[in-house]
Structure formats: structure tokens, C-alpha cells
């Protein structure tokens, strides 16, 4: 009996690859294959060999095929969503010349600051790109490579983002999409094209870059014979352009031009990320003004320190991650890896307000509060970029969708509810990045709108928790410490502007 058509949505994140097998007709999840990556580096360095991503993709697909029981012949499409910003430098053989510089590699902070100054300040960047370079942005990493490893840069014949690298390995086609391209620092969201002036500033030849497909759901080819053999799939499998992980999450949640607009999302993972899909083109130094992959826009703010930082505090205290109580007078900013929003790349953690009565559980709760207030302050900027007043009762009542690994944890959910005062939706579909990629794959196969398709699949729906009375005392106490974050507190390289991440 013929099997329903199946698509594969790939989520290649910082820590692992997931391959989600989805029935394209109704969105049912058939299986999820997983395979981990290794991240190397210390003192600000964060690197991964891109070949690990390809090997993990092969392993995740093989696992998904086995667990789903789906015949390989039923798979009709695949799309990759991956961590944003990473710099993959390829040689003439299209193999990596060195490990990829990941988004959370902060060594390029000085290069980011130099780029901002060279163009004439933050506004000179937001006008074309919608964003101001920080250490995470690919342009700063390219500048770092040119300055620190000039021989590698000279041998580079192709520059790719992580998702571009995997899509090219699948199809042999050098292609990206507007969403992921908008996080490079050399793509203009104003003109929907690479910016010649910025490429000249970066000394980056345009022929080193992939072409930009109209949307992430655009069909860019089929599997090469080599990729089909490596994955155990037919060479007829259609490959979509794919996108970055945040853009794919928006699709998976049904946010965008054909779905919900101006509805906020908070992702609690390695990083803490807030975003919303909107028709307004954001151009403020306080945010990353990304393009969404469907033609709308995705104002976004990202903090470096989220679940991993709080888990580290729990380990130091010898506690389980849910052994937390409200922090009382203690304030703990868990900026263990520097910080992006606020832009303090050289930051370390800060603890203040200790008393004899402070308990270990309160210290852990203070770490949750420090991380949550940091990212929720950024949420207000996202709402303003959508043309909304965060203090308006109507806006404050708009539910906050909570996704990522932290959304599965009781302490994270309750801390966000207490400090935001908002109703919270916990989407039933936990793999929203992979769901978005699957919808992009199905779009390339069927010619349908990926956002409308994902909404029909229902991944963005789930139980809604009512708002709690907002803990304004903690909000103001933590906020005052964040606002006092200066280079004197956090060391050289810190920036005092809390909205410049």
C-alpha cells in the first residue's frame, strides 16, 4: 500500500542535529532522529568542525528512518534550519579550511566595534541591514579571520553559514535564504540583496557568497547522487533553501505573513531569544532586524546566557535545576560567557545583595531571575519594533509563546510568568525549529505557503497558562543592576549601552 508523502525537517543547532520525519498531509510526527555535536574552545572561542554537522545529519536521518518505519521511497522533501551567524570557510575542494566560528564565539568583539566605527556608527548599519554588528555576527567573524588567520582567509574560495553548508552538501548548489542571510552583516533587508558597500568594507568578494533564494521554501534542487547514497534516500528528494533556526521556529509556530503577526516568542535554550514576526521593517540599534524567511520581518534580541548558564550555577551549588526559590535580596547576573544583550562581550557573572540569611536555593533562583529579566527587557524592544507599546494593557495581555528546552522546566516557566506578568502558551510541538524546516520542505514539494501549512499542522498551539501578578520589586532590583553594568564591573570590552546587542 502506498505510504503518505513524508518530509524531513532538519534542526542543526549548536549542540546537536535533529531530523524530524513528518507526514506532509497532516503534520503528524513520525520519528525524530538525533545526533550530538562537539563544541570546542575556551576563553571566548567556540568552534565546531562542519564535517561533524554532516555526519550528525546522516546519523539523525538514519535513526529517523529506522524508528519511523517509513520506506525511503516515501520521503519527498528535506530542508535544513541551522544555528545562525556561524562562519564556514571553504577551500577549492568545498571542504572546510578550519573549524567553523560559531555564533557564540566572542573573540570577534573588537572587530565588531571596529566595523561599527568604520561605517559611521550604529545607524549607518541599521539603515541597510536592520542590525548593528556584535561579536556574534558573521561579518565580525570574517574580519577576525582576515586579521588573525590571513593565510586561511586568502585560501578561502567560499563563505557559508552553517545551513548554507549543509544545503550545498545535499544539492551541490550554493544557496541561502533572506532570513539567514540577514544575520551576516552584509545583506541589506532594505534592498533584499547583498550590500556592495558593506562587501567592499569587509573586503569580501561577492563571488565567495551563495545566491539568495526568494524564500526558505523555494525549491533549490534535489539530492546529489552522493548525498542520496550517504542518507539512504532517493535522489529525487526535493531540497528547499532552508533558513536559520530562529526564522524556522517562526514558521513552525505559524508566525508570519500568512499567520500570526506581532505575537511574541521567547526561546529558552543555550541562548535566550525573543522575537516576533511583523510587517514592519525594524531598524533600531537595540535589536537584530532580521528578515523572516517568508517575506515578513523578524525583529529579534538574543542573550548569550540562558539555560546552560543557570544549569552551571545549579551545579556549582550542588542543586537540581528545579531546586530554586525566589532570590530575595540577592541579584545574580549569570553572564558566564560574556553577554550580547546588553552588549558586554567581556562580561563575567556578577553576584550582589548577599545576606547571612541568603540560601543556596535563593542563589539559584537569583540566577533564573537574572537571566529572565535580561531577556524580558529585550522583549520590550521587540514589541516596540512591531509598533506596539509594551506598557499597553492590550499588549501586556498578548500571550507569550515559550519554546526551547527551558520551556520544559518548571522553574523557567514559573520565573518567566512571575517576572513578565503575561499569559504564557506552551506549544504542544516541542521541536518547532524542525517543524518549520519540515514545512519549508513541504512547501518546496507542494508549492504551498509554509506558514499556512504549519498553522494547519498545529505545532504553535498548546495550553495557555494565565498571568501571575507581576513581581515588580524583583524586576526593578535586577534591572537596576543590569543598568549599572559598566566596564569597571565587567572588564575591558564591555559596553554601557544596555540596548546595543
Q: How far apart are CA 451 and CA 217, in angstroms?
A: 10
Q: Is the pLDDT of residue 165 over 70?
A: yes
Q: Is the pLDDT of residue 1 over 70?
A: no
Of 430, 443, 434, 367, residue with least CA distance to 402: 430
Query: Does one domain contain both 51 and 106?
Result: no
Query: Does one domain contain both 344 and 482?
Result: yes
Residue that terminates a domain, selected from 253, 271, 304: 253
Indicate which residues carry an active-site annotation: 245
**Residue 221 located in a structural domain:** yes
Query: Does one domain contain both 93 and 77?
Result: no
**Residue 335 located in a structural domain:** yes
288 upstream amide cis, omega within 30 of 0: no
pLDDT computed for residue 487 by the predictor: 53
Q: Which residue spans within 42-151 are E strands per DSSP?
A: 47-48, 75-82, 88-90, 100-101
- Length of the chain measured in residues: 501
Q: Is the CB of residue 155 less than 8 Å from the CB of residue 97?
A: yes
Which comes out higher in pLDDT, residue 82 or 485? 82
**Residue 443 located in a structural domain:** no
Span of 74-83, 290-299, 309-318, 342-351 with lowest mean pLDDT: 342-351
Question: What is the helix (H) or strand (E) element at residue 331, kind and residue range?
Answer: strand 331-333
Q: Is the CB of residue 6 less than 8 Å from the CB of residue 76?
A: yes
CATH of the domain at 36: 3.30.420.40
Per residue in 421-447, pLDDT (tens digit) is: 999 999 988 899 999 999 999 999 999
Query: Does one domain contain both 283 and 351?
Result: yes
**Residue 436 located in a structural domain:** no
Q: What is the mean pLDDT of the chain?
A: 93
Per residue in 197-221, pLDDT (tens digit) is: 999 999 999 999 999 999 999 999 9
Q: In sequence order, which residues have a C-beta less than 8 Å from that of residue 421 and are 6 or more positions away?
A: 396, 467, 468, 469, 470
**Residue 322 located in a structural domain:** yes
Query: Does one domain contain both 165 and 114?
Result: no
* Domains in the chain, number: 3
Q: What are phi and psi of 299, to 5 degrees?
A: -60, 135
Measuring CA to CA, how many Å separate 25 from each of 6, 216, 446, 457?
8, 20, 10, 9
Per residue in 388-427, pLDDT (tens digit) is: 999 899 898 889 999 988 999 999 999 999 999 999 999 9
Q: What are phi and psi of 365, to 5 degrees?
A: -60, -35
Query: Does one domain contain both 110 and 121?
Result: yes
Q: Is the CB of residue 378 less than 8 Å from the CB of residue 273?
A: no
Torsion of the alpha carbons at 470, 476, 478 and 482, rounded to the nearest 10:
130
Query: Does one domain contain both 138 and 240?
Result: no
What residues does 175 pair with on adjacent strands? 211
pLDDT computed for residue 494 by the predictor: 40
Query: Does one domain contain both 292 and 394?
Result: yes
| Domain span including residue 349 | 254-426+471-501
- Prediction pTM value: 0.89
Of 76, 381, 435, 105, residue with least CA distance to 243: 435
Locate all alpha helices (DSSP H) within 99-241, ordered by sequence.
Answer: 109-119, 122-129, 138-148, 150-155, 162-171, 178-181, 196-202, 225-231
Query: Does one domain contain both 119 and 132?
Result: yes
**Residue 461 located in a structural domain:** no
**Residue 392 located in a structural domain:** yes
Query: Does one domain contain both 56 and 118?
Result: no
**Residue 457 located in a structural domain:** no
Query: Does one domain contain both 324 and 394?
Result: yes
Query: Does one domain contain both 15 and 126?
Result: no
Amino acid at each position: 500500500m502506498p505510504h503518505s508523502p513524508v518530509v524531513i525537517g532538519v534542526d542543526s543547532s549548536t549542540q546537536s542535529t535533529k531530523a524530524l520525519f513528518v507526514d506532509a498531509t497532516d503534520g503528524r510526527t513520525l520519528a525524530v532522529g538525533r545526533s550530538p555535536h562537539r563544541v570546542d574552545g575556551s576563553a571566548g572561542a567556540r568552534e565546531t568542525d562542519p564535517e561533524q554537522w554532516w555526519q550528525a545529519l546522516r546519523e539523525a536521518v538514519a535513526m529517523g528512518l529506522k524508528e519511523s518505519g517509513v520506506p525511503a521511497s516515501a520521503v519527498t522533501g528535506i530542508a535544513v534550519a541551522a544555528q545562525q551567524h556561524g562562519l564556514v570557510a571553504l577551500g577549492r575542494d568545498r571542504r572546510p579550511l578550519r573549524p567553523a566560528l560559531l555564533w557564540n564565539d566572542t573573540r570577534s568583539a573588537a572587530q565588531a566595534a571596529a566595523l561599527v566605527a568604520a561605517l559611521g556608527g550604529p545607524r549607518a548599519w541599521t539603515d541597510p541591514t536592520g542590525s548593528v554588528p556584535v561579536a556574534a555576527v558573521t561579518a565580525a567573524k570574517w574580519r577576525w579571520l582576515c586579521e588573525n588567520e590571513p593565510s586561511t582567509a586568502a585560501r578561502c574560495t567560499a563563505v557559508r553559514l552553517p545551513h548554507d553548508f549543509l544545503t550545498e552538501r545535499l544539492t551541490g548548489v550554493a544557496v541561502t535564504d533572506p532570513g539567514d542571510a540577514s544575520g551576516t552583516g552584509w545583506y541589506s533587508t532594505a534592498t533584499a540583496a547583498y550590500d556592495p558597500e558593506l562587501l567592499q568594507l569587509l573586503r569580501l568578494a561577492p563571488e565567495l557568497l551563495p545566491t539568495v533564494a526568494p524564500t526558505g521554501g523555494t525549491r533549490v534542487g534535489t539530492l546529489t547522487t552522493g548525498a542520496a547514497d550517504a542518507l539512504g534516500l532517493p535522489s529525487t528528494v526535493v531540497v528547499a533553501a532552508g533558513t536559520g533556526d530562529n526564522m524556522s521556529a517562526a514558521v513552525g509556530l505559524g508566525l508570519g505573513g500568512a499567520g500570526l503577526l506581532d505575537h511574541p516568542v521567547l526561546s529558552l535554550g543555550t541562548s535566550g531569544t525573543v522575537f516576533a514576526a511583523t510587517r514592519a521593517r525594524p531598524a533600531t540599534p537595540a535589536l537584530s532586524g532580521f528578515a523572516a524567511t517568508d517575506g515578513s520581518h523578524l525583529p529579534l534580541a538574543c542573550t548569550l546566557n540562558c539555560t546552560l548558564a543557570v544549569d552551571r550555577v545549579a551545579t556549582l551549588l550542588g542543586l537540581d535545576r528545579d531546586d530554586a526559590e525566589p532570590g530575595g535580596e540577592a541579584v545574580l547576573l549569570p553572564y558566564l560567557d560574556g553577554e550580547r544583550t546588553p552588549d558586554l562581550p567581556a562580561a563575567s557573572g556578577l553576584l550582589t545583595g548577599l545576606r547571612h540569611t541568603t540560601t543556596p536555593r535563593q542563589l539559584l533562583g537569583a540566577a533564573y531571575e537574572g537571566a529572565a529579566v535580561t531577556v524580558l527587557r529585550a522583549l520590550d524592544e521587540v514589541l516596540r519594533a512591531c509598533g506596539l507599546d509594551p506598557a499597553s494593557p492590550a499588549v501586556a495581555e498578548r500571550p507569550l509563546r515559550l519554546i526551547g528546552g527551558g520551556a520544559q522546566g518548571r522553574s523557567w516557566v514559573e520565573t518567566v510568568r512571575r517576572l513578565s506578568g503575561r499569559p504564557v502558551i506552551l506549544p504542544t510541538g516541542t521541536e518547532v525549529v524542525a517543524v518549520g524546516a519540515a514545512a519549508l520542505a513541504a512547501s518546496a514539494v507542494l508549492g504551498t505557503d509554509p506558514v499556512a501549512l504549519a498553522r494547519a499542522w498545529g505545532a504553535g498551539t498548546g495550553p495557555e497558562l494565565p498571568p501571575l501578578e507581576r513581581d515588580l520589586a524583583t524586576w526593578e532590583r535586577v534591572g537596576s543592576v543590569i543598568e549599572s553594568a559598566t566596564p569597571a564591573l565587567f572588564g575591558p570590552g564591555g559596553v554601557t549601552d544596555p540596548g546595543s546587542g
